[in-house]
Amino acid sequence: MTRRQRQRAIRMVLYAIFLALVVGLLFLVDWESVTRNFFMTEAFTGTWQDMVLTAAKNTILYTIAAFVGGFVLAMILVLMKLAPVAPFRWVATGYIELFRGLPALVVILFMGFGVPIAFGGWRPPGGIIGSGLTALMLVAGAYMAETLRAGIEAVPKGQSEAARSLGMNGVWTMSSIVMPQALRIVVPPLTNELVILLKDTSLLFVLGFAANQKELTSMARDFMVSGPSAGTATSLTFAALLYLAITLPLTQLVSWMERKQKRSR
């Protein structure tokens, strides 16, 4: 066999394997059961108000709250890491390593149940939701601080040298020369953090919310046992589709921004 014939043969075999797998799946899967359990039409029409207007809205609100809080925290951590006094740097580094090393779920349980036990029933403002959002914020802040630090380090050293050589002090140099450029660099990775945070709000379901506070995952879980889709997993499919409706445009936006940045460099 020539080299070309060999390559063609390999390609044909790969196509054949793929086709066999698809056909096998079509025959092996009980499609009637799948449709009944995952795609019950009445369930979509019967629950969309709760799922979209309450649960999806809450998911988005919780994400934004935790993101904004996490960003402010990350800024403080980064400034601490740049501080001329070493103990500030130690605290920031310790914090970042601690919260990047813990599962978000453990932090949520700590804030939701551990903190009230330890401090005589005290919890962050906003009740059980406040506790959960604080936990998400603490974790997101640690990740975003690392992202911001990388962004600041990506600004060429000549930029701050030029600013200092013009007599600008350290604060002006950071705030009007380095930070604006660093923020531009970190917009794509921060948008990725936003997507991760949005998915992590699903972990909040362990805290148990009141009906009007539920986010997508806890609402979907409710509709598995009650309402028009009870006994099926259709509500989970619905939640999954709603998550994708938010995350896919965001991840597409990130790749578009990254392509644009690469071109402008």
Partner 1 sequence: MEDLHPTQKVDRSAPAIDVRQLHKSYGDHEVLKGIDFSVEKGQVVCVIGPSGSGKSTLLRCVNRLEEPSSGQILVEGIDITDPDTELDKVRSRVGMVFQQFNLFPHMTVLRNLTIAQQRVKKRGRAEAEKIARENLAKVGLADKEGAYPGHLSGGQQQRVAIARALSMDPDMMLFDEPTSALDPELVGDVLDVMRKLAESGMTMMVVTHEMGFAREVGDKLVFMDGGVIVEEGSPVEVLTNPQHRRTQSFLSKVL
User: Which residues sit at the interface with partner 1, rule CB under 8 A?
Assistant: 156, 158-159, 161-169, 172, 176-177, 180-181, 184, 264
Residue 66 or 177: the one with the smaller Cβ distance to partner 1 is 177
Residue 176 or 252: the one with the smaller Cβ distance to partner 1 is 176
Residue 132 or 188: the one with the smaller Cβ distance to partner 1 is 188
Minimum CB–partner distance for residue 172 and partner 1 (Å):
5
Q: What DSSP character marks residue 173?
A: I
Residue 159 or 247: the one with the smaller Cβ distance to partner 1 is 159
DSSP string, 173-233: IIIIIIHHHHHHHHHHHHHHHHHHHHHHGGGGGGG---GGG--HHHHHHHHHHSSTTTTSS
Cα R_g (the chain), whole angstroms: 25
Rounded to whole angstroms, the Cα distance separating 129 from 127 reads 5
- List, in order, residues 6 or more apart from 165 with CB less than 8 Å away: none
Rounded to whole angstroms, the Cα distance separating 159 from 153 reads 11
Minimum CB–partner distance for residue 154 and partner 1 (Å):
13
Please provide the distance, in angstroms rounded to a whole number, between the alpha carbons at the two ends of the chain.
48
Minimum CB–partner distance for residue 168 and partner 1 (Å):
6
Residue 133 or 190: the one with the smaller Cβ distance to partner 1 is 190
Report the interhelical angle of 179-200 vs 234-264 (nearest 10°).
170
Rounded to whole angstroms, the Cα distance separating 62 from 64 reads 6
Residue 164 or 199: the one with the smaller Cβ distance to partner 1 is 164
Amino acid at 66: A
Minimum CB–partner distance for residue 176 and partner 1 (Å):
7
Minimum CB–partner distance for residue 88 and partner 1 (Å):
22
Minimum CB–partner distance for residue 191 and partner 1 (Å):
19
Asked if 67 and 197 touch (Cβ cutoff 8 Å), the reply is yes
- The neighbour count for residue 173, using CB atoms within 10 Å, is 18
Minimum CB–partner distance for residue 250 and partner 1 (Å):
24
Residue 124 or 151: the one with the smaller Cβ distance to partner 1 is 151
